[in-house]
Structure 1
Amino acid sequence: MGLDTATHQRIYRAIKEDYLAGVFYPGARIPIPAIARRSDSSVTPVREALYRLVGEGLVEADPDGGFRIALPDFNALANLYAWSGHQLLSALHLTSRSAIKAAMARIRSLDIGPDPISIVTATSATFEAIAWASGNSEYLDSIRRTNERLHYSRLAEVGLFGDLERELRTFVRNGTIDVKMNVRRRVTAYHRRRVEHVAQLCALLQGTA
């Protein structure tokens, strides 16, 4: 790996880590010079990393050459939640009862704290476990990308819903006879709830911009 490629990867990972840690907010302008100084690099690899994140739907390019954290409008957010649910239900269709039971067992011990990042991280882990159970790596990659695109919307959910920890734990509820059916119902209910509240979530997201 050449020096330029190594620098690009390092900066890309650092920005992605900041994104997932909630350092930014939707619509926030990304401070390219500050990132370059912190990374001990020129602005060129920073811009290259940001263009890569544009391709992933996490960042938007401004006409003036700058970059901002993506801020979805009503239709985009509704479609993204619907797409998330569609992918998960499609993955479940391929999943055996034993595989989904094993997947839920993997996440039963997740430490879901009260802080927003912990809840959102646990949500992503739950949905990635469902995708993993399908045995199809394309579902896992796609769900992971969708989780990242919904990251800040899910952080906003914490300010709207007061029961997210309890809601997550229903996915791995002990004593459920048909685990696959329970997960299918939970996935459907989870996404229906978000789609019904897209207007409020958009207002919360836009209020931070």
Structure 2
Amino acid sequence: MERVYLDLKARILSGAYPPGTRLDPAQLARSLSASATPVRDALYRLSGERLIETWHQEGFRQPLLSEADLVDLYGWAGALLALALKGRTPRPELPGGLIELATGERYPDAIASLFRTIAIGSANREMRDAIVNVIERCMTIRAAEVRVDASADEALVAMTEDYRFGRWSALRSKITRFHRRRAAFAGKVAAEIRRRSEPLR
């Protein structure tokens, strides 16, 4: 089951299924070379993580987020990250006091790397888990963000620089502004997502 869960989760996070796509356990079982039972168990687990959703209690689908959904998600992400940075000091056991950032060339990967590294630096396990979850839930919308907001990459670079130099107050402020701007663009992002989605089967 773990292999099926990890394979299916990787597909979902990579955007293999457009928003709104119905996820049929039988079809997925064939493509994953597995029986339907571990596939269905993995789907329920991913639904519990809110990476997919149950649809009218008749099956599973890739979420099709509305503008209001995105505004709430951005607000939650910004609040969690700001809280994780509150009172932050560099961790003395790490070289230079900072966790090295993984290199990500693509905007979705780079922003996930930055936010995940902030999560790792938190001493609160619940906060770490919550931030990682919101990072994963945002993965499929990051590509749409950069298509509708040309300044998204620039904001990411500025936040990354603040992290590298341990400018925590400045980073908190930039993260707050970043998510407010994401919320302001939520309608355009939602429209971009819908434009690229397929009708439910």
Q: Please, what TM-score do these two structures have when normalized by structure 2?
A: 0.86
The counterpart of 2:64, out of the listed 63, 66, 71, is 71
Q: Deviations over 1:28-59 (max 9, x none)?
A: 12243232113332222211111111111111
Is 1:38–2:44 an aligned residue pair?
Answer: no
Q: Deviations over 1:65-111 (max 9, x none)?
A: 33110112222211110000000111111422x249844x611xx43
Distance of 1:167 and 1:189 partners within structure 2: 9
Contact 1:58 1:70 in 2 (8 A): yes
CA gap of 1:39–1:153, structure 2 versus 1, over 3 A, is closer
Distance of 1:177 and 1:15 partners within structure 2: 37
The counterpart of 1:162, out of the listed 132, 141, 150, is 150
Distance of 1:56 and 1:178 partners within structure 2: 31
The runs of 5 or more residues in structure 2 that have no matched partner are: none
Aligned to 1:29: 22
Is 1:106–2:100 an aligned residue pair?
Answer: yes
Ranges of 4+ aligned residues in structure 1 off by more than 3 Å: 99-103
Is 1:188–2:181 an aligned residue pair?
Answer: no
Q: Which secondary structure state, in structure 1, belongs to the residue aligned with residue 17 of structure 2?
A: coil
Distance of 1:102 and 1:194 partners within structure 2: 30
Contact 2:43 2:60 in 1 (8 A): yes
How far is the alpha carbon of 1:178 from its aligned partner? 6.5
How far is the alpha carbon of 1:133 from its aligned partner? 2.1
The runs of 5 or more residues in structure 1 that have no matched partner are: 1-7
Distance of 2:8 and 2:64 partners within structure 1: 17
Instruction: Give the number of equivalent residue pairs.
Output: 193
How far is the alpha carbon of 1:173 from its aligned partner? 2.2
Higher helix share: 1
Distance of 2:128 and 2:6 partners within structure 1: 19
Contact 1:128 1:144 in 2 (8 A): yes
Q: Which secondary structure state, in structure 1, belongs to the residue aligned with residue 109 of structure 2?
A: helix
Aligned to 1:4: none
RMSD: 2.2
The structure, 1 or 2, with the larger RCO (C-alpha pairs under 8 Å, 6+ apart) is 2
Aligned to 1:54: 47
How far is the alpha carbon of 1:177 from its aligned partner? 7.3
The counterpart of 1:204, out of the listed 189, 192, 195, is 192
Is 1:119–2:112 an aligned residue pair?
Answer: no
Distance of 1:39 and 1:157 partners within structure 2: 30
Q: Please, what TM-score do these two structures have when normalized by structure 1?
A: 0.83
